[in-house]
A and B are shown apart, each in its own frame.
Chain A
Amino acid sequence: GENVEQHPSTLSVQEGDSAVIKCTYSDSASNYFPWYKQELGKRPQLIIDIRSNVGEKKDQRIAVTLNKTAKHFSLHITETQPEDSAVYFCAASIRSGGSYIPTFGRGTSLIVHP
């Protein structure tokens, strides 16, 4: 099955700095890589995703890069703000019986200090 590793587990930055979270996956058949943000006491919500036919995708201050050869993908947040503080999860999907099942990384707790 798929195995998703995520680093670091905790990331502390100053407001305005950049933050980078990295994930690796094991199943070369995975082709969809979403990132979720979970604020305290709330449900995880998608912030950005990338499919395997694209190497990079950007949405304002957030970008994701994908290296299929090395089987790793990263989340980049620029000009961080205190409201970016949350837990971030990466995910990759394994194919099972004709459908895809998401597998999540262990999460990164991002703390942005004002």
Chain B
Amino acid sequence: SAVISQKPSRDICQRGTSLTIQCQVDSQVTMMFWYRQQPGQSLTLIATANQGSEATYESGFVIDKFPISRPNLTFSTLTVSNMSPEDSSIYLCSVGGGIMNTEAFFGQGTRLTVV
């Protein structure tokens, strides 16, 4: 299993500003995932972050809007840039899948409100 600490748990931000979300895992993992979950909706994959390489973004998500860092095998950050009210959502980091195709573990999520 994996224990994931994610922070902040929630924030209220002004439009046009940026917020960086941090995710710390208690073990070394190759792949980390960032998801967005809008109210009542499913988990939409934003990007996959591998240590030592650029993140891979899903259709509809771009690096300029959601820059990701992955400095080592236990840590990653997601930045939501130049925020607008449409970015209000829950953001979750996750580990799992990988070579062994294991279950996913999630951080507790960051509830972002943009005003």
**Chain A residues proximal to chain B, CB less than 8 Å:** 31-32, 34, 36, 42-46, 49, 89, 91, 93, 96, 98-107, 109
Contacts and interface: CB of A to CB of B under 8 A. Distances in A.
B33 interface: yes
B30 interface: yes
A101 B108 CA distance: 20
A99 to B, nearest CB: 5
Nearest to B103: A46
28 contacts: A32-B101, A32-B102, A34-B103, A34-B104, A43-B106, A43-B107, A44-B92, A44-B104, A44-B106, A45-B106, A46-B103, A89-B42, A93-B97, A98-B99, A99-B30, A99-B97, A99-B98, A100-B98, A100-B101, A101-B31, A101-B48, A102-B97, A102-B104, A104-B42, A104-B43, A105-B42, A106-B41, A107-B42
Interface of B: 30-31, 33, 40-43, 45, 48, 92, 94, 96-99, 101-104, 106-109
Contacts of B48: 96, 101
Nearest to B111: A41
A96 B98 CA distance: 9
